[in-house]
Amino acid sequence: MNINDITIRLENKNDHRKVEELVRTSFWNVYRPGCSEHYVIHVLRDDPAFVRELDFVVEKDGSLIGQNMFMKTVIEADDGRNIDVLTMGPICIANDLKRRGYGKLLLDFSLEKAAELGFGAVLFEGNIGFYGKSGFDYSSRFGIRYHDLPEDADSSFFLCKELKKGYLDGVTGVYQTPQGYYVDDSDVEEFDRGFPYMEKKKLPTQIF
């Protein structure tokens, strides 16, 4: 689809390396010195939980400037049911084009497509400042807890949006991050050696 001056389309095999380069430069030194997201996306594309129909890239003037992807996972409900949901990310926009509205366009487009495919809710870790504008709220308000997080810990990083109104009505339980997101630092290091050198920096804003 074309919105303003960008095109959002499904990722194809020829995009893979360019997308990994984009993800690497976009996440570099944001949450930790260096980053692992380019390796995570590399691994997740082959994961059975990966949703190929929701693997989007953004093009502008012939260049890839953004990407977003989704994975299937479950909420382990307190009543014993497994509730199918989606999780999302990595999502990114190229450094020189951040804060121009492209991220929100990509996010809203992706969520609309996820809803069209019949998915009921999306949950993940993120900043309410960005995701709140697209209808996300704290997962705690839906009665959904983050796996392995002590009850009194701050869970404001853990967000949720229903794609079908009322999908989580009557559901309380624990959200599980798909296993594919957990990668070994040593595998990240090795994968990263195949990319141009960038300096790792320790910054006060990083969370890890």
Ligand X SMILES: CC(C)(COP(=O)(O)OP(=O)(O)OC[C@H]1O[C@@H](n2cnc3c(N)ncnc32)[C@H](O)[C@@H]1OP(=O)(O)O)[C@@H](O)C(=O)NCCC(=O)NCCS
Interface positions with ligand X (CB under 6 A): 26-27, 30, 89, 91-93, 98-104, 126-127, 129-130, 133
Rg (CA), the chain: 17
Q: At closest approach, how far in Å is the CB of 107 from ligand X?
A: 7
Q: Which CB sits closer to ligand X, 111 or 171?
A: 111
Among residues 114 and 171, whose Cβ is nearest to ligand X? Answer: 114
- Degrees to nearest 5, angle at CA 26 with 21 and 31: 120
The alpha carbon dihedral of 18, 21, 26, 27 has a sign of: positive
Q: Toward ligand X, which CB reaches closer, 96 or 199?
A: 96
Residue with tokens 């020189």: 96
Instruction: Write the burial class of residue 151 (CB in 10 Å: 0-12 exposed, 13-18 middle, 19+ buried).
Output: exposed
CB nearer to ligand X: pick between 77 and 135 = 135
Least Å distance, CB 117 to ligand X, is 22
Residue pair 91/107 in contact by the 8 Å Cβ criterion = yes
Contact call for residues 124 and 146 (beta carbons, < 8 A):
no
- What is the full DSSP assignment across 79-136? TS-EEEEEEEEEEEE-GGGTTSSHHHHHHHHHHHHHHHTT--EEEEE--HHHHGGGT-
CB of 104 to ligand X, least distance (A): 3
Smallest distance from the beta carbon of 38 to ligand X, in angstroms?
A: 11
Which residue in the shown chain puts its C-beta closest to ligand X? 103
User: Quick one: 39 or 171, whose CB is closer to ligand X?
Assistant: 39
**What are the structure tokens assigned to 157, written together?**
């990083």
- Work out how close the CB of 208 gets to ligand X at its nearest, in angstroms, rounded to a whole number: 13
Nearest C-alpha neighbor of 78 from the set 141, 143, 159: 143
Q: How far is the CB of 82 from ligand X (least distance, A)?
A: 25
Q: Which is closer to ligand X, CB of 50 or CB of 87?
A: 87
